[in-house]
Chain A
């Protein structure tokens, strides 16, 4: 057992890849007015935002507000449901309907709400602890049932609200207050978990690329069914730089692969690398040495189960392996949604039997009369 453990890659040390210049709190975003008549400010609540200065949550909040303005549905038709954790304070900060529930259960609350109120746009805000640790079970079931909600999972690979214990997505060997000798927990791979659960929509974005994140969230909104979006979010207090290798310009081009439906998988600072399938294995090829061209590359197909499997399994730390980490919409397929099937059963039964009559029901079965 001990030998096996030694063969694993050394724990990631964020300090090594930290860029020289600290990233600003508010990354640049497009600021043009959407044509819907709403601006992101229409989705700002009157509550003071209480996340730590510099938290990645600010960028995600602003991005979501922007997407809501672009979508153009009035604020009262949206509901944000969250669990517990830093990210789960989110509903207080959007001027829609919202519910800050209990730890891990936002997905279940959202299921009940969406089933009875298909007219609403229901969003689940959760985190790596809320959604994959205490709420892992409900996450599994909302995905397999395909309830028509958007799930934004803020992954910062740490428990922030409880001040810095390792989370189910923390890297193996992570040293925290509750794991001074290194965490013995192997991390869960959220996208692969979602695929295993039968998710019909799986995407990944990052706090520090809001324009890309906006397109992903917009796609999630448009998807009919449970849309699972993992968002890499920097916790600058307890886990600073956990994702800088993917998010900062020095390393991002080599480490992040932005996939698009129907397009070959190209990445690299000069778009000079690609993913090619070697048998059943995705490998990185160089597009500059004349040996391989774009035509040899794997073309992304959001509806292809095998590609979804390959992409979600590309999860190794790119600092130690060649494969980059995929971002964008990894999978998008259609299947009847749970809420729609539940409602259809009711409507069809009423069509077939007529609406229920209470008196008939009460007096049904074998009855007798006493004079």
Chain B
């Protein structure tokens, strides 16, 4: 029974964070809340934040797993800087996440978990629930463990099952608090546990108990409602970057009419692409879980030689291992797509945390002069489109191509407008079938426009040829140590990549073209940069933004844009990689804004830095 004393407050947007032990099912709870939110029609952005340890010791701070979602009635671009609500399932989760909750925000804690032992494990000397240290927040102490146990008591289930149902109690409470329906989650649970009726019943009871708790306990006096967002017309689904990447590869394979061969060695945060693709054998997708990163990329080279859409996926450390083979791909001039889902480095670094520090590795990390095109998506949904672009460039120019995503894009999600297949580019290729030089076949005789060499598949009569990693003579492809030929070939391979600039969209300037400050970004920082730029413009400042999806070659008009601005700020989650490329290429005084904390930028920190630049000297918004 709904209480009549509860008021409903309309909000334009809300950011919620839930945190608990890595075994508490926080990611599942978060993604389920996300699905419901998507179906309600909000725009949304999510940030899963979990440790590399699969099950760190329960109750410790390093075992805390969190999930943040921001949802709104308007277009949003980031998962939010500060949270409006935090659910902490134990003291460790409270300790590691409380700093993200805004003053006056809603704090829901599982008070049953605040035992002496758990407080100690989290490093508390006293009990924060008792000592007044949380007085700045709207604190709700909910006995989640006990209430879940009571709700499930009749079922006489093992303790473990009861423990694992707590997250559904929390989800139920959140659904009530933000006025979301339960029926979608009920359907989802019914599907998920169709074969385990006991577990299904436990989850359903916990979910309802949480929902009804909000409804009946008088502690909560307010519910919040966020109206649906006005997104452009179309059919949408919620999608993570890795899902979009996998779908994009299948779409590319279908549009090219080529079987997809995906070779990969499991690595965080790229493995989900492998898992996703492995489901789609009926799309003629071969997934090859190789013995190591090197075998993954070299098997992919074999598949490319055999005439397939050949793709390998990895993260930074794996890319380091693939380096030599990518150089071979450059020399062989075979189409090849390399996904690098970047994570915090160096070395093993912080596997589950995001970073953008592989740009120079992708750009230069090979022996010899070995240029490789690079594309980078800006949002989770854009992974779909940019991986299609990577495939298009690879197939058209007969070259390896990098696709630089990162952990934040990979696991973050957003509503994605689903395209009709006809909207996708036509990627059909033409294989060589005939000799191309007076009855002879020259494997390195190039297309005069693209400089691409022909793709002649083994098995084709009359076109037998040998290719390899040794320098080759122009056109014939025969091994050559001739000094002038080498110089010529090095330049020719570089020229081929540069010509791609003729075939990509120009860089798009957003914001005020006459501003003094231009902010240039790439990859997953798009949302934070754009939000900061929007806020400053609302305050009356003039500022412009360019976000690069093509990093090698750069769009043709980039140099012209850069020279128009007095100040250029390049925020990156590295110590300044794009900024070096820009300075080097265009001799512009670009400056970096760099933080490498394994986390996405907040819009607030970027806004502060931009505002500093804009107010240097006078402290006021300036006109031009």
Contact = CB atoms under 8 A, between A and B. Distances in A.
A81 interface: yes
B259 A116 contact: yes
Nearest to A115: B286
Interface stretch (B303-311, B500-508, B604-612): B303-311
Interface centre among A81, A100, A120 (most CB of B within 10 A): A100
Contact of A97 (B232, B298, B310, B464): B464
Interface stretch (B33-41, B206-214, B370-378, B570-578): B33-41
Interface in B402-461: 418-421, 457-461
A91 B467 CA distance: 9
A45 B476 CA distance: 13
A108 B282 contact: no
Given A99-B468, A108-B294, A116 B261 contact: yes
Interface in B164-192: 184
Interface string A184-205: 0000000000000000000000
A47 B473 CA distance: 13
Contacts of B302: 81, 99, 108-114, 116
Contact of A369 (B235, B247, B281): B235
A109 B463 CA distance: 20
Interface string B81-125: 000000000000000000000000000000000000000000000
Nearest to A81: B302
Contacts of A30: none
Nearest to B287: A342
Interface string B275-302: 0000011111110101110110011111
A74 B261 CA distance: 27
Contact of B467 (A99, A108, A345): A99
A368 B235 contact: yes
Contacts of A355: 282-284
Interface in B31-62: 35, 38-39, 41
Given A101-B468, A116-B306, A345-B281, A76 B461 contact: yes
Contacts of B38: 366, 368
Given A346-B281, A366-B237, A368-B236, A99 B332 contact: yes
A354 interface: yes
B303 A113 contact: yes
Contacts of A366: 35, 38-39, 184, 237-238
A321 interface: no
Contacts, number: 201
B254 interface: yes
A359 B421 contact: yes
A143 to B, nearest CB: 11
A101 B466 contact: no
Secondary structure type dominating chain B contacts = mixed
Interface string A323-351: 00000000000000000001001100110
Interface centre among A75, A120, A350, A362 (most CB of B within 10 A): A362
B251 interface: yes
Interface centre among B35, B310, B457, B459 (most CB of A within 10 A): B459
Contacts of A111: 288, 295, 299, 302
A223 interface: no
Interface residues of B, number: 70
B587 interface: no
Given A105-B294, A138-B291, A359-B420, A115 B466 contact: no
Interface string B198-241: 00000000000000000000000000000000111111111000
Nearest to B40: A368
A113 B458 CA distance: 10
A368 B41 contact: yes
A277 B236 CA distance: 73
A96 interface: yes
A349 B298 contact: no
B360 interface: no
A100 B443 CA distance: 14
Interface in A127-153: 137-138, 140-141
A310 to B, nearest CB: 29
A105 B467 contact: no
Contact of A370 (B233, B250, B469): B233
B120 to A, nearest CB: 42
Interface in A13-57: 45, 47
Given A97-B458, A99-B305, A116-B307, A354 B300 contact: no
Contact of A76 (B238, B324, B327, B464): B464
A353 B308 CA distance: 23
Nearest to A109: B302
Interface string B531-571: 00000000000000000000000000000000000000000
Given A92-B468, A102-B324, A355-B282, A113 B459 contact: no
A120 B468 contact: no
A77 interface: yes
Interface centre among B233, B247, B280, B421 (most CB of A within 10 A): B421
B47 to A, nearest CB: 21
A363 interface: yes
B263 A112 contact: yes
B470 interface: yes
B16 interface: no
Given A112-B301, A112-B306, A98 B467 contact: yes
B280 A361 contact: yes
Given A102-B469, A113-B305, A346-B281, A108 B251 contact: no
A112 B298 contact: yes
A138 B38 CA distance: 45
A1 interface: no
A371 interface: yes
Contacts of A96: 464
A168 B259 CA distance: 39
Nearest to A118: B306
A115 B418 contact: no
A101 B282 contact: no
Contacts of B299: 108-109, 111-112, 115
A358 B466 contact: no
Given A75-B464, A81-B302, A97-B464, A358 B251 contact: yes
A160 B152 CA distance: 73
Given A108-B302, A366-B238, A358 B294 contact: no
A138 B293 CA distance: 11
A349 to B, nearest CB: 4
Nearest to A371: B233
Interface in B463-486: 463-470, 478-479
B303 A116 contact: yes
Nearest to B234: A370
Contacts of A79: 458
B161 interface: no
B349 interface: no
B12 interface: no
Nearest to A119: B459
A47 B476 CA distance: 12
B51 to A, nearest CB: 28
B306 A368 contact: no
Closest 7 CB pairs of A and B: A100-B468, A112-B302, A112-B299, A356-B283, A113-B302, A97-B458, A108-B295
6 contacts: A97-B466, A113-B303, A116-B306, A137-B291, A350-B284, A354-B282
Interface of A: 45, 47, 74-77, 79, 81, 84, 91-92, 95-102, 105, 108-117, 119-120, 137-138, 140-141, 342, 345-346, 349-350, 353-356, 358-359, 361-371
Interface of B: 35, 38-39, 41, 184, 230-238, 247, 250-251, 254, 259, 261, 263, 280-286, 288, 290-292, 294-295, 298-303, 305-308, 310, 324-325, 327-328, 332, 418-421, 457-470, 478-479
Given A76-B464, A108-B302, A366-B238, 6 more contacts: A79-B458, A92-B466, A101-B468, A111-B299, A138-B294, A368-B39
